[in-house]
Structure 1
Amino acid sequence: MGSKEEKSIHSLDQLQVPTTLDKFIEELPERYVEGQINKEIEEQIDIEWNAFQNDLKKKEPTFRKKVVIFSLSLAAAFGLFIGSAFVSPAMAEIASKIPYLNLLFESEQKPVIDEIKEALDGKGYKWDGLGVSVQPREVSVMIVGTDKYYNQVKSEVEDLIKDILKSRNYNAYDVKVSKAPVMEEPTAEEKKESEQYHKIYKIVEEVLQKYGYNSLGQRNGISDELIEFELPKTESRIEEIKKQVRDRLKQKGFDEFSIKVYTFNPQKREREGRWMPIVSTISDGLTAKAEYKVKLVGYTNKFDYLPISIETTLSASDTDSEKIVEAIEETVQDYLHSEKVRNIIKNDQYEINIYSNKGKKLN
């Protein structure tokens, strides 16, 4: 677990590139625009560079396995890096020295879902429900309005999204444009219930803030008879806090509620916060390249070590499965052993588990 000898990297001092890699990466998009990178590369990238996705899901409870499905959030500039040859042999050499996943991790490009949103708003389209998913690989959006308006703008919206995806070399996604269902006006009773919910939530939140907590936590809920929120297991004043919530609600005229407090391990929660962007990058990178045949990436924060599960579409009949599994593991380990990621991981133990489409462990 978490052990692998690092590969030596030869010096790049002799290469004819900018003095720092950061500067080189920063200038890469401009160099491309100015024609310093061979235009024929684009065709190859269109074949090799698959789409990435951003639908970052709200984290589930600590002791449940999480399936990590992440949104499009990676750099088009790095799309020119991966799987391509550069005008300068030195550029090709330096690209080969950088772990694939590290290129993605250090990218700061705006997520594609944000770019699409801004483009839709910029054109004045009436839309709702914009989403980017991996299973299926799809960008979807709903048009709000009459049938006439929907039919008028459907093709335009579809072309707009396809153009954005093409500009990023994201060629693996379908685009689905549909009509938003007509939403009925909430009844007076529904409006009253919504107002009550927000009042109760605010009261609980105010009590927790007095004890140093800024929210109700990841596991929270309010129903007719039950209020749920979350506190660290190291908190010694849980019963006192519950009493304060009840008293405050009573002062505001609310009926008696049952109160359930979930507890979590602060150390594991802190570890989860550090690992989330790392697992996100692994998920984005592996699902984006068709040759890895990766369907989903997940993890669990239950144990003292952190198991990462990589689900593939490989079957027993795939003659190249062993080679693909080796490529996946090497790619992930190269990334996890890079200096920047090691500083984030610290001394955490982890385990990489790669599975077939039938759930059989392959490594």
Structure 2
Amino acid sequence: MKDKLKKIHEHYRENYYSEEIADRIKDGVQQNIKNADKIQPGKKQRLNIAKKLLYVTAACIVLFGLFVGSAFISPVMAEVASKIPFLNKIFEQEPIYENLLEELRDKGYDIGAGGYSVRDKTYFVEVRGSEEYYNQVREEVKEITKDIISSRGYNDFTVEVDKEKIMESDSDPANDPKYRESELVFDVLNEVVPKLQQKGYKIEPNYSVGYTGPDAKDITVDLDIEDTEKRTDEIEGAIHEGIKKQNIEKEVTIQFHPFNVQEREIENKWTSDVLPIIWEGMLSKKEYKTKGVGYSYKKGTMNIFITTTIDKSDNEASEIAKKIEIAIHEFLQSDDLKDIVDDTPYKVVVRDKDSKDIN
């Protein structure tokens, strides 16, 4: 696909480009171009969903803006554009939520958090500042947000703009015995785990400490360890020894979570660079009638679940399922995904509104 874009660029430069044309269209299409050329966590990030930003020259930006949506596009360019799969276009862009916040902040709006709710297909944006400022810019922010999202060709979403909520708490963690003891246990882990790692113990550093519930009396420690690491008794003993030195009175339970290194690397690549693109595409276009997405990685196979709004008995059910499968297969088998997907087996499961498999 990138080779096709390069050829288009060369064709445009030779036959259509001039400084006069660039200046004439730049002001009018710059915003749409930015939104069309970058989709969202960039994972490109997306080479990181979770960040790859596609940097191009101003001329290339003008070119791509024309390429994806201008009335002055040549028939040759239009034909090539129509052959680029929808999901691949998303792959080349910045993640939508990052692009959205970036564009709003660049326009001078004081924006806090932003995100997407799958359940009701809603993009939400929170405005910082006073109640007066929020009331002043709310409708502007909402319309700009709609325009940014729509510029990507998305047509199945709603937008909510709210005032940022500042959570205030009367509790003082420093005087909470549960909090203090959890912090002490965490300090022990920060000291003990690196020493064990230096001795060759295969422990991941992303451990967690806390209570399983508000009424829980025991502290729970969760540790990820490689599935080849069998010395759990020694690890547990070293941690408890450190806990004893801190005079921690609470009972501390240590839970081990073995994982396969290779499988985790594969899963991380999919969840970071592949699945977010599929989710964004399926949820944002009405034609796919998608209301939910998910995945499971078991026994070396990535299972991709798409839940639709249709009934399995509907005449269009099999057609919709086939359309979804083709779009995802086309994306996963493209050159863009070759280094990420590699030879990992995958399965696309399309379900009806009652979670019954259609395909």
Instruction: Output the TM-score relative to the length of structure 2.
Output: 0.70
Matched, 1:321 2:321: no
Question: What CA distance in whole angstroms lies between the structure 1 residues aligned with 2:53 and 2:72?
Answer: 20
Comparing 259-268 with 201-210, greater Cα deviation is found at 201-210
Alignment equivalent of 1:254, drawn from 227, 248, 254: 248
Q: How does 1:179-198 map to 2 (within 5 A)?
A: 179-181=163-165, 183-188=167-172, 192=176, 193-198=178-183
Distance 1:79 1:205, change over 3 A: farther
Distance 1:253 1:207 in 2: 16
Looking at structure 1, the residues matched to 327 and 239 of structure 2 have their Cα atoms a distance apart, in angstroms, of: 50
Of the three residues 112, 116, 123, the one matched with 1:139 is: 123
**Which residue of structure 1 aligns with residue 355 of structure 2?**
359
Q: Is the 8 A contact 1:78 1:104 kept in 2?
A: no
C-alpha spacing 1:98/1:157, structure 2 compared with 1 (3 Å): closer
Q: Which has the higher helix share?
A: 2
Question: Given residue 109 of structure 1, which amino acid in structure 2 is its aligned partner?
Answer: E
Structure 1 equivalent of residue 227 of structure 2:
233
Q: For residues 307 and 202 of structure 1, do their structure 2 counterparts lie closer, same or farther at Cα, with a shift above 3 Å needed?
A: same
Q: Structure 1 residue 300: deviation in Å? A: 1.0
- In structure 2, the residue matched to 1:102 is 88
Give me the identity figure in percent. Answer: 31
The equivalent position to 2:275 in structure 1, one of 262, 275, 279, is 279
What is the alpha-carbon distance in structure 2 between the residues aligned to residue 172 and residue 33 of structure 1? Answer: 33
Structure 1 254/117 Cα, relative in aligned 2: closer, same or farther at 3 Å? farther
**TM-score calculated relative to the size of structure 1:** 0.69
Q: In structure 2, how many angstroms separate the alpha carbons of the residues matched to 1:356 and 1:179?
A: 36
1:33-75 deviation per Cα after TM superposition (whole angstroms, max 9, x unaligned): 66789x99x99xx9xx9xx886x9xxxxxxxxxxxxx899999
Contact 2:97–2:115, Cα closer than 8 Å, also in 1: no
Aligned to 1:210: 195
Structure 2: how far apart are the matches of 1:108 and 1:252? 50
Count, aligned residues = 320
Structure 1: stretches of 5+ with no match in the other structure:
1-11, 13-18, 57-69
Question: What letter is aligned with 1:299?
Answer: Y
Q: SS where residue 94 of structure 2 aligns?
A: coil
User: Is residue 205–residue 214 contact of structure 1 (8 Å, CA) maintained in 2?
Assistant: no
RMSD of aligned alpha carbons: 4.4
Deviations 1:174-207 (A, max 9, x none): 2223345563344335654545434432431342
**Aligned AA for 1:284?**
E
Q: What does the per-residue CA deviation read over 1:194-221, in whole Å, with 9 as the maximum and x for residues that have no partner?
A: 454344324313422334445235xx44
Distance 1:214 1:232, change over 3 A: closer
Which SS does the other structure have where 2:321 is aligned? helix
Where do residues 121-136 of structure 1 align in structure 2 (5 Å cutoff)?
123=108, 125=110, 128-136=112-120
Q: Structure 2: where are the runs of 5+ without partners?
A: 44-48, 55-60, 198-202, 212-217
Distance 1:144 1:343 in 2: 41
Confirm or deny: 8 A CA contact 2:97 2:114 kept in the other structure.
no
1:222 aligned onto 2:206: no
Paired with 2:85 and 2:114, the residues of 1 have a C-alpha distance of: 32
